[in-house]
Amino acid sequence: MERYNYLITQMQKCFLSSRNLGFCFFLLFLGCFSDVVYAQRNDDSIQIRKIFDMALADGKAYENLRTLCKEVGCRISGSPAADSAVGWGYNLLKEMNVDTVYKQAIMVPHWERGNMERAKVFHDDTKLNITALGGSVATNGSLKAQIVVANGIEDLDRLGEKQIKGKIVLFNKPFDPRIINSFEAYSACVGQRYSGASKAAEYGAVAVLVRSMTQKFDNNPHTGSMGYTNELNKIPAAAISTEHADLLLSKLEEKPDLFVVLKMNCKSFPDKQSYNVIAEIKGKTDPKTVITVGGHLDSWDIGEGAHDDGAGIVHSIELLRLIKANGYRPRHTIRVVLFMNEENGNRGGKGYAKWVKESNEKQLMALESDAGGHTPRGFSISATDSQYSSIASYRNLLEPYGCHVFRKSDWGGGVDINPLKLDKELTINPDMILLGFLPDGQRYFDFHHAASDVFENVHKRELEMGAGSIGAIVFLIDKYF
């Protein structure tokens, strides 16, 4: 009301003075334009409220996650459980009666952990809780060697071949507690997990143990992908729990020349065929332009893959249900992709980008949910400056629901969708928008890649708030871009 009173007062002054009629008409236009914008934003607020109401009061995400975790379980690429996950996703999406559901064939790695993961201190038989890193070779029976401690890959040069050759390297670089963003703390340490074995092998190491990638002090080792740069010199690699990493350090202080015995029988097999699962609601006015939303269907072979990335899978499926339940027909085609093989190869993401490029398809935006099912905080945004400004202007509409972080990012939106824009060979549109869903990440690495990543550790309301947030941002981008 104050807005109108001000405009009327200024118009009266202009008319009474018979001067500056142009400014007067500008004020009239400004008032009308302001009225239109206000009405639009009010309509948007009503629509967003409906999305959240449906996600919270009649949501299906939590029960879908229960089924995925408890009936399918852990689902590493190439496993029978991964095949079951593909069938689960396809059948669930077919039951939703969306416009199209289909599968995209891809070839994925096939690695199996085996049934032997043991580590102990030789001198007193103290057991150490370890888990093989994904892709590791076996120990070929028992492997016995002394321990040398490295504070990350960069510490290997300091130690040199003289101190490393013939030993097991314990990579013990922890998360820096001063880094507020837990994903940045993870990024600063994860190189020792992925590349540590190959780098240590260059100095003559016979195996590596890696402190688990978590801030939490417990006895759950966290697995994850690793890779070899030298096919002729592969050494076993395993994660050790934070509790037992510290235990081993304390024993080394007492006896620096102690030996550790490792035994693992993991193995790699030829690639297997699997699938991305895809579902679409066709756009009403611009059906040939696509908005992609997804998460990854595969998980590691311990735990149930609840936060990583069952949450992202059910967020994406719930988006389609919310659109249909709301009676909203999107302007653009909304496509949900349940990607396969994010964890140890990204074959699904790269295969999807290649398929999109070969189809000469126009992609407006892609969003990935792969940061867990915790309370939503906002989105990372890879976009042009003008695109970012437009999306950031939605903050006021989403702040009431806790989404206040609209962070411009050069990194992209997620491993599965980044090839659409950031891979030089696969990029289809360097100006397309990539969004990454950002929940509160302070507890995410408590569960990431660990046996504790189970359904019971996902909070129902937090998961559903995430579904509502993704539904709201997709609605706004579909409407205004």
Tokens of 283: 């756009």
C-beta separation of 221 from 133 below 8 A = no
Q: What is the DSSP string of 222-241?
A: ---B---S-TT----EEEE-
- What integer pLDDT is reported at residue 42 of this predicted model? 84
- What integer pLDDT is reported at residue 374 of this predicted model? 98
Other residues' Cβ atoms within 10 Å of the Cβ of residue 346: 22
- Going residue by residue through the chain (481 aa), what tens digit of pLDDT does each one get? 434 343 334 434 443 444 454 544 444 444 544 444 455 678 999 999 999 999 999 999 999 999 999 999 999 999 999 999 999 999 999 999 999 999 999 999 999 999 999 999 998 989 999 999 999 999 999 999 999 999 999 999 999 999 999 999 999 999 999 999 999 999 999 999 999 999 999 999 999 999 999 999 999 999 999 999 987 789 999 999 999 999 999 999 999 999 999 999 999 999 999 999 999 999 999 999 999 999 999 999 999 999 999 999 999 999 999 999 988 899 999 999 999 999 999 999 999 999 999 999 999 999 999 999 999 999 999 999 999 999 999 999 999 999 999 999 988 899 999 999 988 888 777 889 999 999 999 999 999 999 999 999 999 999 999 999 999 999 999 999 9
- What integer pLDDT is reported at residue 304 of this predicted model? 98
Q: Which helix (H) or strand (E) holds 294?
A: strand 286-296
- In the block, which residue shows the tokens 């300091």? 158
Q: What is the DSSP string of 113-156?
A: --S-EEEEETTT--B--EEEPBTPPP-SS-EEEEEEEESSGGGH
Q: Does pTM surpass 0.95?
A: no
- What integer pLDDT is reported at residue 315 of this predicted model? 98
In angstroms, what CA-CA distances link 298 with 94, 240, 354, 415, 469? 20, 23, 20, 13, 23
- In the block, which residue shows the tokens 């099912």? 373
Beta bridge partners of 280: 100, 335
Give 347's contacts (C-beta < 8 A, 6+ positions apart).
77, 106, 107, 108, 109, 340, 341
Bond before 309 cis per omega within 30 degrees: yes
Helix axis angle for 311-325 and 460-480, nearest 10°, is 60
Give 40's contacts (C-beta < 8 A, 6+ positions apart).
none
Which of 417, 432, 296, 431 lies closest to 352 in space, CA to CA? 417
Which of 252, 243, 258, 310 lies closest to 92 in space, CA to CA? 310
